[in-house]
Amino acid sequence: MESPVSSGRSLPVIRRLCYAVGHFLNDLCASLWFTYLLLYYHSVLGLDGTAAGVLLLIGQIADGVATPLIGYESDRTAGILGYGKRKTWHLLGTLCVLLSFGFVFSPCLACGADTPQWAQLTYFSPFIVVFQFGWAATQISHLSLIPELVSGDQAKVELTAYRYAFTVVANITVYAVAWLLFHFQDQSISGASVPDHFGAMDIPLFRNLVLIVLAIGALSSLIFHVGTKEQPVSAREGERQPLVIPSPHDLSPSPPACGPSPPPPLLQWKHWLKLPAFYQVAFLYMCTRLIVNMSQTYIAVYLTDSLRLPKNSIAIVPLVMYVSGLACSLLMKPVSRLVGISVTYLLGLLLVLGFTSWVLVDEGIGAGRIYGAAALLGSGSATILVMSLSMTAKLIGEQTQSGAFVYGSMSLTDKLANGAGVMLIQSLRPC
């Protein structure tokens, strides 16, 4: 049986680090998924742009459907053999990701040169669905631990910032490894120049990149499971206690009473659907994820197709984005404490608008100025993502018994919106 978290629900630094690294595998895979999926299927494997967009849409739909269901089940189950319910789902998700993601970025094993595209779509789809189920299970269980491990708005912002810092480190790792692999590819072909366009010759490069990512992610997940102690919760706590929506009388001020105040009423999953704040935060989170994920999905295509930069730019420019995001994440706690979470979110949004204005006005932007624009995008994306997650944790507050459902619902909105956005772009201007 695992030892409970301290009554004050605060964590020492080493425990925060062990928690934050628990999403590292997901972050590594998400970086590959959003940055290189369209490029890999279209330019490397030779699928047309619409087919590549369909595969990404299948993944987003699978993830979107799985997240609220996993959130609901994660809230109501008690874990296996005394293992925490959140960590049980995290372990299940990790195994699904490790077993499926390698096939997502590998050529179809049973396909030949004359294999129709529909057959390749059929081959890749089950691996994508299993991967997205595992990714969702890991994400929701990991996020749901935040309000259970710590209490207080600033503590949640800080733990979310730790989590995002490792998200940035994961992206930096992917792009740094990709840059090294491109560098070794250049050196391995002596006497001949490597073409700047992608093709079948890049299949081994992406295969090696995925294998390295999975090895690093497996180690980080092991550290999380060893170093994070989930508070034991009775299986009947979230299911058999009366779960009600607080009435106006419950929320109205009452004269102080002698003795301890009664605990706040517990909210069941269906009660969240009646709270306006639930939809407000969900819409904000959806818009935030649209900004972050769409920019990450199309940055590689923008660099290679629009700006005509060399292949290694798809590693260097995103690397600049996430290094600036990492530096910005270190400032989030003092800034949010000074001006509040909402104002900090607005500041991040202004940085993103600065990036969009720059690339819109500067039509001759090239290899030099793109790095400055990328730094703005990275800093702004980091800020708005951490603040939106902090707002979600603040919304949940002490209602941790249904926190996974809230995070799952937020993720549902962002996955469906991102899938629809990709298909819209691919149908209008396919990459």
Residue 241 has pLDDT above 70, yes or no: no
Could you tell me which of 27, 83, 37, 26 has the C-alpha nearest to residue 59? 37
- DSSP bridge pairs for 109: none
Residue 258 has pLDDT above 80, yes or no: no
Residue 408 has pLDDT above 80, yes or no: no
Q: Which of 51-60, 95-104, 145-154, 384-393 has the highest mean pLDDT?
A: 95-104
Residue 3 has pLDDT above 60, yes or no: no
pLDDT at 209: 94
CA distances from 121 to 52, 111, 176, 204, 275 (A): 9, 11, 30, 21, 40
DSSP state of 3: P
pLDDT at 91: 92
Structure tokens at 214: 């999975």
pLDDT at 252: 42
Could you tell me which of 132, 128, 110 has the C-alpha nearest to residue 41? 128
Report the C-alpha gap between 312 and 181 in whole angstroms: 9
Summarize the confidence of residues 185-199 as an average pLDDT: 63
- DSSP bridge pairs for 266: 243
Report the C-alpha gap between 38 and 420 in whole angstroms: 15
Instruction: Give 250's pLDDT tier (boundaries 50, 70, 90).
Output: very low
Summarize the confidence of residues 26-55 as an average pLDDT: 88
What's the whole-number average pLDDT of the chain? 81
Instruction: Give 8's pLDDT tier (boundaries 50, 70, 90).
Output: low
CA distances from 75 to 68, 164, 193 (A): 11, 24, 56
pLDDT at 253: 44
pLDDT at 327: 84
Could you tell me which residue, 269 or 30, shows the higher pLDDT? Answer: 30
Residue 217 has pLDDT above 80, yes or no: yes
Residue 161 has pLDDT above 50, yes or no: yes
Residue for token pair 């499971």? 225
All residues at 6 or more sequence positions from 350 whose CB lies less than 8 Å from its CB, including other chains:
380
Report the C-alpha gap between 231 and 187 in whole angstroms: 52
Helix orientation angle between 370-396 and 341-361, rounded to the nearest 10 degrees: 150
pLDDT at 213: 95
Report the C-alpha gap between 247 and 250 in whole angstroms: 5
Structure tokens at 370: 């793109």
Summarize the confidence of residues 213-229 as an average pLDDT: 93
pLDDT at 138: 93
State in Å, rounded, how far the first CA of the chain is from the last one: 52
Helix orientation angle between 153-188 and 332-339, rounded to the nearest 10 degrees: 150
Left (φ > 0), alpha (ψ -120 to 50) or beta: where does 90 sit?
alpha
Structure tokens at 358: 């720059």
Structure tokens at 222: 């092991």
Instruction: Give 4's pLDDT tier (boundaries 50, 70, 90).
Output: very low
pLDDT at 242: 37
Could you tell me which residue, 105 or 313, shows the higher pLDDT? Answer: 105
Q: CA neighbours within 13 Å on the CB side: how many for 199?
A: 5
Which tens digit of pLDDT belongs to each residue from 321-338? 888 888 887 788 788 888
pLDDT at 265: 66
Summarize the confidence of residues 110-127 as an average pLDDT: 88
Could you tell me which residue, 8 or 360, shows the higher pLDDT? Answer: 360
Report field, pTM of the whole predicted structure over 0.75: no
Q: What is the full DSSP assignment across 234-293?
A: -TTTTTTS-B-PPPHHHHS-----SSPPPPPPBPPHHHHTT-HHHHHHHHHHHHHHHHHH
Main-chain dihedrals φ then ψ at residue 266, nearest 5 degrees: -90, 140
Q: What is the CA radius of gyration of the chain?
A: 22
Residue 128 has pLDDT above 70, yes or no: yes
Structure tokens at 90: 């995290």
Instruction: Give 195's pLDDT tier (boundaries 50, 70, 90).
Output: low
Helix orientation angle between 13-20 and 153-188, rounded to the nearest 10 degrees: 50
Summarize the confidence of residues 163-187 as an average pLDDT: 84
pLDDT at 185: 72
Residue 288 has pLDDT above 90, yes or no: yes
Q: Which of 126-130, 227-231, 369-373 has the highest mean pLDDT?
A: 126-130
Residue 236 has pLDDT above 50, yes or no: no
62, 128 contact by CB (below 8 A): yes
Q: For residues 285, 37, 93 and 11, what is the CA-based torsion angle, rounded to 10 degrees?
A: -50
Report the C-alpha gap between 183 and 409 in whole angstroms: 42
Residue 168 has pLDDT above 90, yes or no: no
pLDDT at 254: 45
Q: What percent of the chain has pLDDT over 90?
A: 25
Could you tell me which of 88, 13, 20, 19 has the C-alpha nearest to residue 229? 19
Residue 284 has pLDDT above 50, yes or no: yes
97, 26 contact by CB (below 8 A): yes
Residue 215 has pLDDT above 90, yes or no: yes
Q: What is the full DSSP assignment across 197-214?
A: S--GGGHHHHHHHHHHHH
